[in-house]
């Protein structure tokens, strides 16, 4: 079960519309304090900009939603920015669009399209992640079993993610496995290696996995 969707890392995207420059900042955040800190840094960096329009969503259920037009006509910036984030079902994310006015007025409709497009185009470059509960498992194998394990991982359609590999006198693969698939993965690997492996369940963790 997916707890929520968000973005993996901050990014900046630039577009120009009728001589106005729009710089979109997409940043993963965990709290309103994070939002205020990031916004303050952006305002400081772009202190000469005409507007710093904002939207953010917080909470696993996306219940905390805020936006600001920051001087643009009411409803022409913050709302369309927020709507784009909502359409992508994202949370724990903020968007700030910095506008440097180029001298050509866009009108209400033009502003709505501009701010909406600024966030939409930025999201095309973002890595979207899903936060889910998974069982963390260490599978310990001999070195001569590595090729067989690697082949299994490349062929299986079960929801398994290789998180880390530790090389000592044996090889330990740290796996994140969807809860409903743990038993099936265990049985398949046990059969594949005729029981010649060490399987250690480390407990459930919430993990972020890339969607696109």
Segment 129-167, tens digit of pLDDT: 999 999 999 999 999 999 999 999 999 999 899 999 999
Return d(Cα 175, Cα 13) in angstroms, integer. 34
Q: Which neighbouring-strand residues pair with 57?
A: 65, 93
Q: Does the structure show a pLDDT above 90 at 211?
A: no
Structure tokens at 157: 């359609």
- Spell out where the chain has E strands: 2-7, 11-17, 20-28, 51-58, 64-68, 93-100, 128-141, 160-167, 171-178, 198-210
Q: Are the CB atoms for 183 and 115 separated by under 8 Å? A: no
Confidence band (pLDDT; 50, 70, 90) for 24?
very high
Return d(Cα 66, Cα 159) in angstroms, integer. 35
Structure tokens at 47: 């202190």
Return d(Cα 158, Cα 123) in angstroms, integer. 28
For residue 190, give every residue at least 6 positions away whose Cβ sits within 8 Å of its Cβ, in sequence order, or none: 197, 199
Residue with tokens 């955040």: 29
Return d(Cα 200, Cα 164) in angstroms, integer. 14
pLDDT tens digits, one per residue of 186-196: 999 999 999 99
The pTM of this model reads 0.80
């Amino acid at each position: 079960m997916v707890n929520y969707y968000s973005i993996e890392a901050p990014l900046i995207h630039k577009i120009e519309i009728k001589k106005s420059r729009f710089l979109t900042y997409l940043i993963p955040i965990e709290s309103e304090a994070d939002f205020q800190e990031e916004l303050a840094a952006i305002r400081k960096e772009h202190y000469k900009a005409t507007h710093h329009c904002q939207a953010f969503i917080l909470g696993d259920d996306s219940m905390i939603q805020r936006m600001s037009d920051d001087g643009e006509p009411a409803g022409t910036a913050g709302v369309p920015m927020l709507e784009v984030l909502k359409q992508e079902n994202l949370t724990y994310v903020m968007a700030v669009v910095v506008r440097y006015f180029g001298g050509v007025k866009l009108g209400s409709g033009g502003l709505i399209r501009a701010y909406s497009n600024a966030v939409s185009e930025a999201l095309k470059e973002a890595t979207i992640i899903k936060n889910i509960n998974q069982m963390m498992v260490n599978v310990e194998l001999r070195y001569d079993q590595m090729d067989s394990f690697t082949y299994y991982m490349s062929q299986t359609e079960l929801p398994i993610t290789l998180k880390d590999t530790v090389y000592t006198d044996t090889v330990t693969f740290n796996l994140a496995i969807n809860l409903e698939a743990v038993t099936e993965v265990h049985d398949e690997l046990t059969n594949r290696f005729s029981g010649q492996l060490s399987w250690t369940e480390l407990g459930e963790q919430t993990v972020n996995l890339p969607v696109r």
